[in-house]
Amino acid sequence: MSSRQIVKTLRDQDQTVSQSTVIRLLGKNALEHEKTQVEEKSALPRGRKKLRTPAMIAKVKRAVTGPNPATQNQLAKKHQVSQSTIHRIIHQDLGGVLRKKHRVHALSNRQIQQRLDRGPGFLKRISGQKWKFFLTVDEAWVYLTNVNGRRKLYYELRGGRTDESWTKLWTVSHPIGVMFFAGISSRGVTKLRFIEPGAKINSDYYIEHCLKPLFEDDIPRLFPGEEHKVVFHQDSAPAHASKKTQKWLADSGINFIPAAEWMGNSPDMAPMDFSINGIFKWKLFDKAASSILGLKRVMTTVWSGLSRELCVKTLKSWPKRVKMMILSGGLHVEHKLNGGK
């Protein structure tokens, strides 16, 4: 019946309603009916079977959680689904983010405990602004393979011919190189000194060719009139930690960090290792050299070009690293400081 007929029929039954009320109720009923039909239709099974079920998501989560997660291809074959399904489960359902593991040095339980025991004392030495008077040094190798850099990638353009030599990246089993000794302070870098070829770096050589020139030339130049404020730091290399070297430092009246107070096997706590050496070699990458003489020349040029701002930034980050190591129970901290979670 029409809304007019409904009103007349209800009036004959002694029920008075307006025509607008009837129209409104008819519209509401039609909307509810349409909604019910849509819900019933959506509840019906359609298309292919759903693959990203709670059970499947749980299986994938177990497989990718841990130190050695399974690859997406392995999981796809195991569960007989596409790799894209596994990809969506990991990234959409689980909110996974792929990250690269950081390379770190090996630490024994004994070394971890030593770092934890000696860390607080060393942190007091460099806390506040005390790091500004530290001079830290190290020895390292640089090879001819560190210059004349060859990128790991190349572009192959449509319609062009790629030189065959561009597609290869070779390695050298025994590269020719040179060892250097140098350091940094908040006032800038020390002079770059080269270790003689074939020299055995024992206590005598280290004292005569490294420490004496450093304290006679570099410290007076970097800290004129404030030499007595300088604190000397080195790692635990045998020539550094030997009794003869430690005695020479003590007898010379030099303020230094004794071997018994430094954290052994801790390149992540030494500025030359965690910052300067890597940046130095990165800056050498596109420099040209074909001989040891040429290598020394470009090394000297690049080293002298390292800015004081870089040295200050590196030393300023030192206390933060030591503090984080202590809070981590003596463990590595690189993955927390270089963009990791």
pLDDT for the residue 169: 74
76 lies in some domain: yes
Nearest to 330 by CA among 115, 91, 143: 115
Q: Are the beta carbons of 233 and 219 closer than 8 angstroms?
A: no
Measure the CA–CA gap between 177 and 97, rounded to whole angstroms: 40
Q: Output the six-digit token pair for 293.
A: 């003489």
For the entire predicted model, the pTM comes to 0.75
104 lies in some domain: no
pLDDT-flagged residues of the chain (< 50): 339-341
Q: Output the six-digit token pair for 115.
A: 């770092």
Domain count, the chain: 3
Residues 221 and 88 in one domain: no
Q: Output the six-digit token pair for 201.
A: 């770096």
Q: Are the beta carbons of 170 and 308 closer than 8 angstroms?
A: no
Measure the CA–CA gap between 271 and 136, rounded to whole angstroms: 7
269 lies in some domain: yes
Question: Which structural domain range is residue 245 located in?
Answer: 109-151+177-337
Residues 277 and 312 in one domain: yes
Residues 68 and 205 in one domain: no
> 205: domain CATH number?
3.30.420.10
Residues 222 and 269 in one domain: yes
* Encoded amino acid at 194, one letter: F
Domain limit, last residue, from 93, 122, 141:
93
Residues 184 and 325 in one domain: yes
Please state the separation of Cα 35 from the chain's center in Å. 54
Residues 2 and 87 in one domain: no
Residues 241 and 270 in one domain: yes
pLDDT for the residue 308: 97
Residues 293 and 183 in one domain: yes
Residues 147 and 58 in one domain: no
pLDDT for the residue 341: 40
